[in-house]
Amino acid sequence: MNGGAQVLRRCALAALLALAALLALAGCSEGRDAAEPVAGAGRTANDAREWLDRIASAHAHADEALAAGQPDRARTFLNAGLAREVPAEIAGEHARALRQDLWYRLSAIGLALEPSQALREADQGLALGRHDDLFSANLLVARGRALQALGRDTEAASSYHEALQIDERLLNAVLGAGAGSQLDGGP
């Protein structure tokens, strides 16, 4: 497998877009609160914002620790992110996705340190729910890597194949409707 830094940079991409969305929503709410208070905005919004900030901070600090060659420290930050209680305002699927990405990064970092731990972390992420999305696919790849590192090649191939099948369904969705990208443009 390729080097850790490069792998980790790529592995974080899926949830980072999600983070961008959630953090942006929080940021906008905050901005509007200052100018024109919105009914319903209050402590709960602040809780959500704080949680999102903590998750973003966990990723950022993990990035820095990895860049400094400190994977254990990076794991500490990511675990701290997972330890935060999810506010009720965060949609369940969003929380699941962001937490799965934290598990994915933990597993990816842990692979070089302790494959059996990496396997447990991938499984813990998958225990949050398997869906036809990139978060589940990434965790299945992480699981496959850990299994491969443990010499459990048949199981590793099976995990890789599960991830591949998710990607196939995603590709079908992309090619099936042929709708134009809604994401290229902005206001």
Partner 1 sequence: MSGLQRPTSWVIAGATSGAALVLCACGASSYRSEHAPERAAETCGAAETVSACEQRLQTYASQLDALVGPLASAPGAPPPAPGQIRQESLAPPELEAPAEVHSAPAPEAASEAYEADEAGGSERSAPPDCDAARDLRDRICELAAAICELAARSDAAAETKTTCDSSRTSCEQARTRVAAACPG
> Which tokens is 10 given?
């790529």
**Range list of H helices, the chain:** 4-11, 13-35, 43-67, 71-83, 92-111, 115-126, 134-149, 153-177
- Contact with partner 1 (CB under 8 A): which of 21, 68, 88, 127? 21
Closest to 18 (Cα-Cα) out of 80, 72, 95: 95
Q: Give the nearest distance from C-beta 85 to partner 1 in angstroms.
A: 20
Asked whether position 50 contacts partner 1 by CB under 8 A, the answer is: no
Q: Give the nearest distance from C-beta 133 to partner 1 in angstroms.
A: 6
Closest to 108 (Cα-Cα) out of 82, 83, 145: 145
Asked whether position 56 contacts partner 1 by CB under 8 A, the answer is: yes
178 residue type, one letter = G
DSSP designation for 129: -
* 108-147 binders of partner 1 (CB under 8 A): 108, 131-135, 137-138, 141-142, 144-145
- Contact with partner 1 (CB under 8 A): which of 39, 40, 85, 175? 175
Q: Give the nearest distance from C-beta 64 to partner 1 in angstroms.
A: 8
* 62-101 binders of partner 1 (CB under 8 A): 63-64, 93-94, 96-97
Cβ proximity to partner 1: between 34 and 43 the closer is 34
Distance (Å, rounded) from C-alpha 142 to C-alpha 119?
8
